Amino acid sequence: MIPEIQPSISREEILCAETQGRPCGLVVFGASGDLARRKIVGSLFDLFRRDLLSPHFYFLGSGRSEFSEQQYRQTVRESIETGDIDPDAIDRFLSSFYYLAGDYTDAAFYASIRKRLGELDQTHNVSECHIFYLSVPPMIYGSITEQLGASGLNQCGKDVCEYPPRLVVEKPFGHNLVSARELDGKIRRHFDESQIYRIDHYLGKETVQNILMLRFANAIFEPIWNRNYVDHIQITIAESVGVEHRAGYYDKSGALRDMFQNHMLQMMSLAMMEPPSSFDAEAIRDEKVKLLRSIRPLQIAGPWNSDIVRARYAPGSVNGVKVQGYTQEKDVSKNSKTETFVAAKIFVDNWRWKDVPVYLRTGKRLAAKRTEIAIQFKQVPHSLFASVGLEEMPPNVLVLKIQPDEGINLSFQAKRPGAKTCMSTLHMNFNYSDLFGSEAPESYQRLLLDCMLGDQTLFARQDDVMIAWQLLDPILEVWSHEDFPLYAYSAGSESFPEADHLIESDGRQWRSLHHS
Ligand code: BG6
């Protein structure tokens, strides 16, 4: 058993600043879809229960499916009515839910939304604060924003506008650099950057937000957060699930676009950016962009001398259950060349990180679900204990654990009681759930609340999306050639030789997916 030291926290030490959302009307396009029912509505209900929704909040679902308001409320009720929930609370929550059906390309639909918003603003005493959430396939983002613009819903009705209408968009933000620019052009014809909230749900996860606190609210980490002390960084998003029911989307996307372009690069930039001048959205986003701009272009010369490797899962077994390979999954094209795994080595060419490799990997159907950022420090320069056989000291590793547990783990060496020079690796480990009594809130809660408050800190900015595509476009181009290798790994495995080679050729190893 690895010894663990349990931290504790006293209530007095908790400093909070959580504000209730502003009075507003949230219009969700695609309101009967999977994302709206699973994530958006559930998170709103949790905000409501935590008293973080304004009593003047209302929800206007819209979509192509015909529902009466009563029927829509019933579908919402079914998606939140799990476990021990007070039925009165659900009734109160649902009393501000409304629904309007229509055709997204028809101007008349937007005229009716406008009219309905006017009525609901009066009923709920909301002073023109509207959020439009696009929970629809990206190919219709353009037509909806066009119609919102044409109907004037993108602007305030008043001369002085304190809370201009906001637009929330879900990834993917484009398919490559050209399509991302095109999409951005369409949206920005009608919405200013300050009105656009590009959701990356990883930025709403507690531990991802905690990166900023850990780095900039403590004096002990920043002095060692650089090339003088850090040997390398590993960022992992491993999933044990396969493509599930989303092959229609995923087979055209793949791991590079689905996870790497957004979640992985966002986490990397928060972990490695310079200290911002303030805890202000623009200051933080400027630093993230500067970091992304400093990434050295990846080398993609050939299978054994590339900085990036792709693969897809073959049949295997996950947690003892036999599963099929990617190409046998429902709705996957038989000629598919889509990758379900990507591993890469990245260098950031700046003063702080020059020559410190960052190894990133993400994949589906791996041995376990695990998301983490591991900062591995350099070994001690000289071992005092070499004479008693302890020549190689295990390095200190600071792990920011994001999934399945959310918390932090710091490993260090200590003397074992008894024998004169017997050493152990100890883990100072904390889990949010142990300390704060419950699981961390679903990431959409934070993001929805921030949008209501007009705080864009945890949303991707246009320039950082474009830089990510600039970095990945050459890779997508090379991968589009038929003969570029797409390796296979058995479902349920930890890794495979070509991914291992990427890190082992530098004398390092991937962290196990089963670490605590
Ligand atoms: C989504 C991807 O953005 O993130 C999915 O489209 C992936 O393919 C999911 O499964 C993982 O999110 P989480 O929060 O479960 O790690």
Give the Cα separation of 341 and 222 in Å (integer): 32
Looking at residue 15, its pLDDT comes to 56
Residue from 190, 263, 501, 514 carrying the catalytic annotation:
263
Is 190 an active-site residue? no
Q: Is 258 in the pocket of ligand 1 (CB under 6 A)?
A: yes
Alpha-carbon torsion 153, 154, 159, 164, what sign? Answer: positive
Q: 259 C-alpha to center of ligand 1: Å? A: 7
* Residue 234, amino acid: Q
DSSP conformational letter for 270: H
What pLDDT is recorded for position 431?
86
pLDDT of residue 1: 47
**How confident is the model at residue 221, as a pLDDT?**
93
Q: Which domains does the chain have, with CATH numbers?
A: 18-170 (3.40.50.720), 203-504 (3.30.360.10)
What is the predicted pLDDT for the residue at 3?
A: 57
CB atoms within 10 A of CB 154: 23
Protein residue whose Cα sits closest to atom 13 of ligand 1? 202
On the CB side of 230, how many CA atoms lie within 13 Å of its CA? 23
Give yes or no for residue 329 CB within 6 A of ligand 1. Answer: no
Nearest to 263 by CA among 207, 310, 179, 326: 207
The pick from 201, 250, 444 for probing ligand 1's pocket by mutation, whose C-beta has the most ligand atoms within 8 angstroms, reads 201
Q: Are the CB atoms for 42 and 146 separated by under 8 Å?
A: no
Specify the ligand 1 atom closest to the Cα of 364.
10
Single-letter residue type at 23 = P
Which tokens belong to 499? 């991914």
Q: How far does the centroid of ligand 1 lie from the alpha carbon of residue 202, in Å?
A: 9
The residue whose CA is least distant from atom 5 of ligand 1 is 258
Per-residue pLDDT of the chain (516 residues; tens, 9 = 90+): 455 655 555 544 555 566 889 999 999 999 988 888 878 999 999 999 989 999 999 999 999 989 999 999 999 998 887 767 788 889 999 999 999 999 999 999 999 999 999 999 999 999 878 999 999 988 899 999 999 999 999 998 776 677 899 999 998 899 999 999 999 999 999 999 999 999 999 998 888 888 998 999 999 999 999 999 999 999 999 999 999 988 999 999 999 999 999 999 999 999 999 999 998 999 999 999 999 999 999 998 776 678 999 999 999 999 999 999 999 999 999 899 999 999 999 999 999 999 999 999 999 999 999 999 999 999 988 888 877 777 788 899 999 999 898 889 999 988 888 767 788 889 999 888 787 766 667 789 999 999 999 999 999 999 999 999 999 999 999 998 877 899 999 999 999 999 999 999 999 999 999 865
210: CA distance to ligand 1 center in Å?
A: 19
Q: Select from 80, 99, 98 the least CA-distant residue to 90.
A: 80
How many Cβ atoms from other residues are within 10 Å of residue 139's Cβ?
8
> Could you give the count of Cα atoms lying within 13 Å of 439 in the half-sphere of its Cβ?
9
- 412, with CB counted inside 10 A (0-12, 13-18, 19+), is middle
Going by their DSSP bridges, the two strands 487-490 and 308-314 should be labelled as parallel
Q: Tell whether omega for the bond before 404 is within 30 degrees of 0, i.e. cis.
A: yes
Q: Hey, whose CA ends up nearest to atom 8 of ligand 1?
A: 258
**Ligand 1 midpoint to CA 256 (Å):** 12
User: Using only C-alpha atoms, what is the Rg of the chain?
Assistant: 24
Burial environment of residue 455 by CB neighbours within 10 A (0 to 12, 13 to 18, 19 or more):
middle
